[in-house]
Amino acid sequence: MLQTKCNRAEEGEVTIDNAERTEDRAAVESTERRKKVMWPAKRSERQSREQAELIYTFGKELFGTAQEKVGQPKVGGNRRQQKISNLRGELRRLKSRFRQAEEEEKQGLAELRDGVRKEIQCLRRAEKLRRKRH
């Protein structure tokens, strides 16, 4: 279609062949309509996987792969917030141990669990007050 338009071009008309500036070339290419692609009605999962793999391979060859960022690990908040999250993990572990424990152990684990809960409560209260101040 480009060739036929270029052959029929009048001398004053800007075409692909005589376009000197890239803006002229883009304007000519954008005015010509591309033909509709006849996509298959339904693709199988295997075809979809193969097509995705093909696209990935072409992209990898053309542009390369990204380097993995090696940096400092993300910080999970201030010291108090980190301590709260550690205590929450400990509380979950105590809960699972409590479920599996025998009757004589359950009393001690319940006391430990209550102590951890009170400490979390105290730290959360202090953190809430800190946030209110700022």
Q: What is the chain's mean pLDDT, rounded? A: 81
pLDDT tens for residues 22-33?
555 566 566 677
pLDDT digits (tens, 9 = 90+) for 32-48: 777 887 877 777 888 88
What would the mean pLDDT of 53-66 be, rounded to a whole number?
90
- Count of CA atoms in the C-beta half-sphere (13 A) of 72: 3
Q: How many CB atoms lie within 10 A of CB 28?
A: 20
- Please determine, for residue 9, whether its predicted confidence score (pLDDT) is greater than 80: no
DSSP state letter for 21? S
- Report the distance separating Cα 24 and Cα 31, nearest Å: 11
- Contact, 84 vs 127, CB < 8 A? yes
* Average pLDDT value for residue range 78-96: 95
DSSP state letter for 12: T
Choice between 114 and 4, residue whose per-residue pLDDT is larger: 114
CA-based nearest residue to 51, from 40, 62, 63: 40
Residue 77: DSSP 8-state: S
Pairwise CA distance, residues 54 & 130, whole Å? 54
Side chain identity, residue 98: F
Domain boundaries, the chain: 1-31, 79-133
Name the nearest CA neighbour of 80 among 70, 88, 69. 88
